[in-house]
Every structure is written in C-alpha cells, then in structure tokens.
Amino acid sequence: MGEVFVNRLSKFLPNDPVSNDDIELYLGMVDGRPSRARLKILGNNKITSRYYAIDKEGKSTHTNAQLAAKAIEGLLDADFTKSDIQLLTGGTMSPEQLLPSHTAMVHGELGCPPIEISSISSSCASGFQAMKYAWLSVKHGDINNAVAFASEKVSTWLRHDKFDAEAEKLKELEANPMIAFEKDFMRWMLSDGAGAALLQNEPNKNGNSLRIDFIDIKSYANELPSCMYSGAIRSPDGSLTGFPEFTPEEWGHKSIFSFKQDTRLLGVNIVPKGGQFMKEVFDKHHLTVDKLTWYLPHLSSEFFRDIILKEQEKIGLRVPPEKWFTNLVRVGNVGSVSPFLMLEEMFNGGKLKKGDTLLVMIPESARFTYIYAHFTVV
C-alpha cells in the first residue's frame, strides 16, 4: 500500500469572534439570570474568544452543514475542484438531524457529483476518525484522494431557551431554578466552526505536505462509564437512558438534549488514560520525545495543561512546553474541529519546515476514546 499526504488544510470560523463579556448576549441567560458558574469555568479554561454561527437574537447565520461546506470550499481551486473529490468523510457531535447522516447533508450542501461518503458520530474524536477512514481508503489504492472534515454547530444547543422549560419546572417544584452544573459547564466551553483536509496519494509538487505516518485510536468504554453525553439521562450507576424512553414533555423539562459533562469523572480519568495510551503508542512505533518537533494536544481547557505535563513525567515521556502548539484560547473549544484548527494554523502559517514531525493528541471524554496521529513534513 502507498503513502498518503495531507496536501491542503482549511478552516471556517463564522462571524466575528465573541469575547467572554459578550457570551450571554448570544446565548442568553437561563431564567433571565447570569450564570453563577460562568466566571469560574472561563477562568479555568482560559478561552478569551470563540465563534458562534448565530446572531445576538439567536438566529442562525449558518447550519452545521453550511459550516462544513465553507471549510471544504477553502480546499478548492482551479487545480482541484469539487468534481475531483472521490470520497467525502466527516465527523460531528452536533448534527442537526438524526437522519440523513451529517455527511450526506454536507454532500448536498456542497453540490459535488455523486461520490462515496462516510459519516462518523462521536465527540471530539469524530473528525480524526473520519480522517482515518479517508487515509486508509487512499492508502489502499481504491481512490487517489479524499476530503476529511469536522464541523460543529453547538451554539443553538446552548441557547437559554433550550433550558427555560427546565427552569420553569424547577420553580413548580419550589426548587432552585438554576440548571445543574453539568449542563451549565458546557455552555462556557463549546463553540462553532469547521475544518477540512485534502488527502492525496502524492505530495504537493510545490510547498509542504504532511505525510500521515499513523492514526492510532483506542476506546476505554469497556472500563469506564459515559462522561459527556447528550440525548440521554445518566443514572447514579453511570448507565444512560436514551431520549426515546422519555416523553416529548420530559425532553424539555429535563433538558435531555443538552450537552452534559460529569466533571468529577473527567478529572479522575481523562489524563491518566491518555498517558497510558501514549506510552503504548510510543512503544509500538518506536517514538522518542527528542525526535518529535511539535506536539499538538487538543485541550478542552487550559486547566489540563500542567496535569498532562505531570502525567507525561510520570510515564517518562515529558514533551517540553516549547514543543507544544495550541490555539484554544483564541479560537475556542470546537470539539471535533479543534485538531483540524491546530493543524491548519501550523500548515498555513509558515511554522513548518521539511523534516518536522508532529504528534496530534485527541482525548474524547464522551466515553473515553483517544487518538494519537503522527505526521512528517515532506
């Protein structure tokens, strides 16, 4: 089987960046009151700006499929048009319908000829799971090129009106109408955007390419319960009950479709499991930290930076801070899109030279899936 190269990367971040002070102008206030957790959460994640595909009235400026199509169009020119795409594969954690698949909707929005498509439903890992499908398809020789993308449109899920019914129900029960921390937490963490990559079986004739050396993926769902979830209610034993088991009235009163995060479970497991898999990946591929030029960790929050460094020291694989590259604080946590945004900024920003090596690390807290992807600049 042949080699595969990422020859183009693009992104699309909708509208103007939104500062911390303006978040509630876009998302609104649940029950008309400012969030008590907002400042603490933002203080930990250190995000200073992000992008929303809605205006201040909560009206959408783009659909999720349109965000993806915009990013993919950024890959195209006279030498590579949408009619040249042989495979379209994408991931998201925020599809706007159960069926058709998200990639089918993007294909329709893009308007390219009939092609093979694949759609990955997951959380932060879904974009690079889609890239692995594209990589293996080109590597096998079935096709010469593929476009892999990730896109998220979470802002409409986070709007105050999605929680008002629950707040009203809490009032009826004479309880505090503030929504649970596990739901409020996600309102200050996530934002919108899209990223795309063109994979081909030959490198660029002019300029740099990223040779894909490996994309290793491992799930620990057999060992750990769900940590981040949507469309379900979590029981004390960690099991999930999905939305079909509830009435439409309960969907609203319990904010069942909101994004929820068990921060205690996250804090205990997300970094150690990532370290465990990192050690396996380095041993398997005979990697050393010395030979690594760049380390691109998808951080959901800057809170985890020092914790990851300590875990790396523990396993004997400490990557020096000067080798780290992240852009979380400037572009926000865009879920499955974030790894694409880091890679795109490095690739198009003139930061790379031939021979450089890059290791992308993606932890997914949904039920603890991890990805390590290695690239060499050629």
Specify the CATH number for the domain of residue 168.
Answer: 3.40.47.10
62 falls within a domain:
yes
Averaged pLDDT of the chain: 96
- Answer yes or no: do 23 and 165 share one domain: yes
Residue type, position 201, single letter: N
pLDDT of residue 169: 83
- Answer yes or no: do 178 and 218 share one domain: no
Residue type, position 246, single letter: F
Give residue for tokens 């999605």. Answer: 162
CB-CB contact of 215 with 202 (8 Å): no
Domain-ending residue, one of 178, 206, 234: 206
Domain-ending residue, one of 180, 206, 232: 206
**Percent of the chain predicted with pLDDT > 90:** 92
- Answer yes or no: do 18 and 119 share one domain: yes
For the segment 15-26, the average pLDDT, to the nearest whole number, is: 97
Residue 97 and residue 119: Cα distance in Å, rounded? 13
pLDDT of residue 168: 83
- Answer yes or no: do 198 and 320 share one domain: no
pLDDT digits (tens, 9 = 90+) for 151-180: 999 999 999 999 988 888 877 766 666 678
- Answer yes or no: do 200 and 286 share one domain: no
257 falls within a domain:
no
298 falls within a domain:
yes
- Answer yes or no: do 185 and 267 share one domain: no
- Answer yes or no: do 273 and 125 share one domain: no
36 falls within a domain:
yes
Residue 21's contacts (CB-CB under 8 Å, 6 or more residues apart) are: none
293 falls within a domain:
yes
Residue 365's contacts (CB-CB under 8 Å, 6 or more residues apart) are: 123, 124, 227, 228, 261, 266, 270, 300
- Answer yes or no: do 364 and 307 share one domain: yes
242 falls within a domain:
no
pLDDT reading at 244 higher than 80: yes
18-19 and 49-50 strand pairing: antiparallel
Give the number of domains in the chain. 2
pLDDT of residue 1: 82
238 falls within a domain:
no
Range of the domain at 48: 5-206
Domain-ending residue, one of 173, 206, 239: 206
For the segment 103-121, the average pLDDT, to the nearest whole number, is: 97
pLDDT digits (tens, 9 = 90+) for 33-82: 899 899 999 999 999 999 999 999 999 999 999 999 999 999 999 999 99
Helix (H) / strand (E) containing 150: strand 145-152
Q: Which position has the higher pLDDT, 37 or 131? A: 131
- Answer yes or no: do 135 and 218 share one domain: no
- Answer yes or no: do 188 and 98 share one domain: yes
* 326 band by pLDDT with thresholds 50, 70 and 90: very high
* 234 band by pLDDT with thresholds 50, 70 and 90: very high
- Answer yes or no: do 175 and 76 share one domain: yes
- Answer yes or no: do 165 and 76 share one domain: yes
